[in-house]
Structure 1
Amino acid sequence: MITLQFLLTAFVVVLAPGTGVVYTLATGLGRGRRAALAAALGCTFGIVPALLAAALGLAAVLHASALLFTTIKIAGVAYLLWMAWGALRQTGALAVRADRGTGSLFRVAWRGTLLNVLNPKLSIFFLALLPPFLSGAPERAALEMAALGGVFMALTFVVFAIYGLFAGTFRNRVLGSARAMSWLNRSFAAIFALLAGRLAMERA
């Protein structure tokens, strides 16, 4: 069930830069290590709805319903653009500023959760990723998908936490340079705007 091939596949998927990775890096740079861990935890919990949808077959419904898919997609695009605008103005969740403390860890985690919840492609992705690694026994399918999903979530948290802690290590150096902070804020804004554009182009 949980094979080396699955672990390698999941690791590569988690390691690839996406909204969660960028959000965790930005949080580590802007708010420090504790906030980065909260961001990693939030992004990890944001996977749960997609895993449940895949396990219950709801991902297929989402894939078949253009209206439902588009509705969630528009909400996701709007959220990404809102975060990009906040980074550009140096006021949002992605903003890197010298006067920022850790702030509310719950809010940091909640924003990370929303990033994955509002991505309609995630549930369809799991519907495609997990079945090839199942044993094929119908009575064990739900349990096996839960186990595979749990391993994927654990890998997500560990990898994202490493990203965030790495970013937090260099926080003081970045905060000491106004030019570096300005460059990072613009970069994060541009990256999230691009991610919003990519999500907007996705089709069910």
Structure 2
Amino acid sequence: MTPEFLITTLIIVLLPGTGVIYTLAAGLTQGARASVLAAVGCTLGIVPHVAASVAGLAALLHASALAFQVIKYLGVAYLFYMAWQMWRDTGALAISAERGKSGKAHIDPLRIVGAGVLINLLNPKLTLFFLAFMPQFVDAGAANATTQMLGLAAVFMAITFIVFVLYGLLAAQARDHVISRPRVMRRIKRSFAAAFGLMGLRLAFAEH
């Protein structure tokens, strides 16, 4: 592992994408615990892409326009679905102001993690990213090239999780300041809905 890999990975992870938006939305709408769960889901959603890259399926996805389009439009549909749920205040990111005996907001862990997994799973660009990015830092001629690839992927996932958790916790800190202001919260909710919708459009027009 080189400093170049760490720096490049950090830049890529820090850039706002669907996972970042989802984690921020989870923190703002449902609090710190939800943001951590969202980060877990987004990180787990990377695993299938790593497996595909190691197994050589990423090359097949790159070569097959049909496979790419199928996964792409499934991702587009899911992002639009998330935008619709966010707009209507339903689903995994429904705003929760109720608190139980512990003082924590009521959340559905499996739903939040599952949505995070799907957001990254249905992103064909992530598989192609591993196809194009990871091999640059792996000695292809080495006997342990696969092990190197898995090690780099593990570091990438760890950095993703840490950065997403930090994003989410920062958002959760602002939650208590806005949850008591329905008008502000409504604007924030609609902003996130618009963000999911725009990302869906961007993915829809992405070239293979």
Common fold: TM-score over 0.5: yes
Contact 1:94 1:185 in 2 (8 A): no
Correspondence for 2:32: 33
Correspondence for 1:6: 5
- Runs ≥4 in structure 1, deviation > 4 angstroms? none
Contact 2:138 2:145 in 1 (8 A): yes
Please report the TM-score for the alignment, with normalisation by the length of structure 2: 0.94
Task: Find the partner of 1:188 among 165, 169, 192.
Answer: 192
Aligned-pair CA distance for 1:40? 0.2
Any idea what SS the aligned residue of 1:136 has?
coil
CA-to-aligned-CA distance 1:26-81 (integer Å, 9 cap, x gap): 00111111111010011001001111111121111011111111111111111100
Correspondence for 2:52: 53
Q: Residues 121-200 of structure 1 correspond to what in structure 2 (within 5 A)?
A: 121-200=125-204
Aligned-pair CA distance for 1:193? 0.4
Distance 2:94 2:125 in 1: 27
Aligned-pair CA distance for 1:99? 4.1
CA RMSD of aligned residues (A): 1.3
Contact 1:29 1:171 in 2 (8 A): yes
Unaligned residue ranges in structure 2 (runs of 5+): 100-104
Distance 2:184 2:21 in 1: 17
Contact 2:25 2:93 in 1 (8 A): yes
Please report the TM-score for the alignment, with normalisation by the length of structure 1: 0.95
Contact 1:174 1:180 in 2 (8 A): yes
Identity score, percent: 51
- Aligned length, in residue pairs: 203
Contact 2:29 2:175 in 1 (8 A): yes
Any idea what SS the aligned residue of 2:92 has?
coil
Correspondence for 1:77: 76
Task: Find the partner of 1:116 among 94, 115, 120.
Answer: 120
Unaligned residue ranges in structure 1 (runs of 5+): none
- Provide closer, same or farther for how the CA distance between residues 27 and 102 of structure 1 changes in structure 2, counting only shifts above 3 A: farther
Correspondence for 2:110: 106
